[in-house]
Amino acid sequence: MDIENETTTPTKKFRSIVDFVCKHVDFSYMASMQILKSRKPLLAGMAYKKDPRRGCRSTESLVRIWLPDQNIPQLYPKISQYVQEVPAIRLNSWEEEWLVVISHEMAHVQDFWNETFQDTEQGRYDAEVAAESFAVKLLGLYRAQQTKKRCRGSKTIDIAV
């Protein structure tokens, strides 16, 4: 996935999380990402079926992520709940929130190309619930992977009883 980064945060800081999410999303090759500075101290995102920067001839989607340029680590841990139908989650770091926001928006890209939901009020709400459920699922997979990585490096000690 192409990433256009307009923040002062180096792209390599979030590239591995973007790659992790893209491995779990159909049609991720049909999207590009634009990372913009946010004036607010929170991460936010939006997915577009067609890249508005390229006009009506666009053949790829766009995911925009707004990233605060200020001291993000002070915000964590925090509890987040986007829709009532999906349980609240504890976000332990900005990387976890980054993953949830990207996963949510990439789920919309997948829905755009699969034409999963109708363009009605109920269809749009169902798409939000499905996207957030997908994001929570990927957060669980990410945490399991991180735990596995930490465990691989630890030494075991046999204790005789």
pLDDT in tens, the chain (161 residues): 899 999 888 899 889 999 999 999 988 888 999 999 988 877 899 999 888 888 777 778 999 999 886 666 677 899 999 999 999 999 998 889 999 999 999 999 999 888 888 889 999 999 999 999 999 999 999 999 988 877 766 555 555 54
What does the DSSP 8-state code read for residue 117? S
Does residue 42 belong to any structural domain of this protein? yes
The residue type of 98 is: W
Q: 66, 41 in Cβ contact below 8 A? A: no
Does residue 51 belong to any structural domain of this protein? yes
For residue 109, what is the enclosing H or E element?
helix 94-114
Structural domain count of the chain: 1
Does residue 101 belong to any structural domain of this protein? yes
pLDDT of residue 160: 55
Q: 68, 42 in Cβ contact below 8 A? A: yes
For residue 4, what is the enclosing H or E element?
strand 3-5
pLDDT of residue 118: 87
Does residue 138 belong to any structural domain of this protein? yes
Beta-ladder partners of 20:
none
Domain ranges, residue 83 = 3-152
Does residue 159 belong to any structural domain of this protein? no
pLDDT of residue 10: 87
pLDDT of residue 17: 93
Does residue 158 belong to any structural domain of this protein? no
Q: What is the value of pTM for the model shown?
A: 0.85
Does residue 110 belong to any structural domain of this protein? yes
Does residue 160 belong to any structural domain of this protein? no
pLDDT of residue 26: 85
